[in-house]
Amino acid sequence: MTFELTKDYLDRIQTAIDVGDETTLRAEMDELYPADISGILYELETESARYLLSLLDRGVGAEILANLDESDRSKFIASFTSADLAPFVDRMDSDDAVDLLNEQSVQVREEVIGLLEDREQARFIIDLLHYDEDVAGGLMQKELVKINVNTNVNQCIEEIRQQAENVEKVYAVYVVDDAGKLLGFVSLKKIVLARKYAKIADIYEADVVSVETYRPVEEVAEIMQKYDLDAIPVVNVQGRLLGRITIDDVVDVITEQAEDDLQAISGLSGEVEEDDSIWLRAKAQLPWLVAGAAGSLMAATVINGFQSELGKVAALAAFIPIIGSTGGNVGIQTASLIVQSLSDTSGLTATLGQRLLRTLLLALLNGAVVGLMAGCYTLLIGEPRLFPVVGLSLLAVVMLASFMGTITPLLLDRIGINPAVASGPFITTANDLIGIGVYFLIADFLLAEL
């Protein structure tokens, strides 16, 4: 049964904290998962949350700190001393420990490392600190189970028992040579089913997928998705096994990428959340709002240039919104598909000509349907002379918007600008100008005799 945090429950926990009822608090927390306790900590004041955390098992506390949102964690542990942090860092996976320490000052970082009781953990952290966070080396953890290729299954099982004490999840045993170079892996199923004196050299799988420390985390995520991996070993340029990346860390990367792309497509610059200050949210929204407003003002200038046409047929103004919104929708839809294809490097890529041909055919179909529908509406409102104007305009706008939605992300990607960030505002503004301009030019041509 899942835990549901209610106001009554939170009030009971706060009351127990206020009176220092450690027995009740420990009993309550023992019934919860670390993720549930994290939800409680988010709702408590900092001092109350620190007190509750101090009552927990160090391993549970370490897991909670490792999974807290970065900004919330920074506020939460701002008043922690190095001595307060060290016991938690001692119990974290090395990659999580490095993430936490990278948020601290150099002084605190070095003090915490010096206070760690587990010196192997300290060595792991020092090894990982020099990697950038956006490459495989910065995402990997040092904890894993490895075995020398010259051992047998019985020795391998004993090695697993010793090494697995510090490894939270064992997906496979990695096989290395005397120099530590990665040769392959052995699944736990094979180890269990093999004869105890069978040679590891005879049963290991040499076909192992690995990544070098310098590989971008986005590439690591793509590889793990493509091959459906729970974990992937990380090697240096010489092929020596240095660590592994597990699926939970890759899910975090994928989630972060999706959130960034969603915010970018929505017209937000930088990371912003609902509970951020008004100033931070304004800074994230204003750049694209200003750009959009500038584009709309230019579109208004175009409309103003066709006052004579509006004077002749006032009903022309009624169709301006559908021209703008249809062009914007088609452009964003097309651009989203192109951006998605650019981010997926695992398959064959269509040529520009193939993309444009498919876009043209689809635009012809969509434009014909939408144009015919809008044209029929002109008949219903008693403006039959606008049937060809509105119908042809929507067909042209859909085709032009599809072209813009295809070519814009490709050009931005070619010149090194992130198409997920820049495509939306650029396409929306361009389609407003082009769409309205085309609409009035067609109207001017077809209604010239009026």
Which region among 64-73, 210-219, 278-287 has the lowest average model confidence (pLDDT)? 278-287
CA atoms within 13 Å, Cβ hemisphere of 394: 27
pLDDT at 324: 80
DSSP per residue over 189-237, as a string? HHHHHS-TT-BHHHH-B-----EETTSBHHHHHHHHHHHT-SEEEEE-T
DSSP 44: S
3: tokens are 């835990």
- pLDDT at 6 > cutoff 80: yes
Q: What is the pLDDT of residues 105-144, one digit of tens each?
A: 899 999 999 999 988 889 999 999 989 888 999 999 998 9
Burial class (CB in 10 A: 0-12, 13-18, 19+), 208: middle
- Segment 166-219, tens digit of pLDDT: 787 888 899 999 999 999 999 988 998 999 889 999 999 998 999 999 999 988
Which homologous superfamily is 146-246 in? CBS-domain (3.10.580.10)
Query: Which CATH architecture is the domain 7-130 placed in?
Result: Alpha Horseshoe (1.25)
Give strand pairing partners of 148.
Answer: 176
Give the tens place of pLDDT for each residue, 140-169: 999 899 999 999 999 999 888 887 777 878
Residue 130, judged by CB atoms within 10 A of its CB (0-12, 13-18, 19+), counts as exposed
- For residue 269, with 0-12 CB atoms within 10 Å meaning exposed, 13-18 middle and 19 or more buried, which class applies? middle
- 37 vs 350: CA distance, rounded Å: 49
Q: Which residue has the tokens 């997920």?
A: 420
Cα 70 to its chain centre, rounded Å, is 15
The pTM for the full model equals: 0.63
343-352 long-range Cβ contacts below 8 angstroms, 24+ apart: 343/218, 343/420, 344/222, 345/219, 345/222, 346/222, 346/225, 346/226, 352/410
Distances in whole angstroms, Cα of residue 143 to Cα of each of 128, 163, 167, 231, 287: 12, 9, 6, 12, 44
Query: Looking at residues 62-85, what average pLDDT do you find?
Result: 85
**Class assignment of domain 278-446?**
mainly alpha
Contact 213, 136 (CB under 8 A): yes
The token pair that represents 178 in the structure block: 């005397």
Domain boundaries, the chain: 7-130, 146-246, 278-446
Tell me what percent of the chain is helix, strand and coil, each rounded to the nearest 5.
Answer: 70, 10, 25
Cα 98 to Cα 130: distance, rounded to the nearest angstrom: 10
Closest CA to 175 of 258, 110, 100, 240: 240
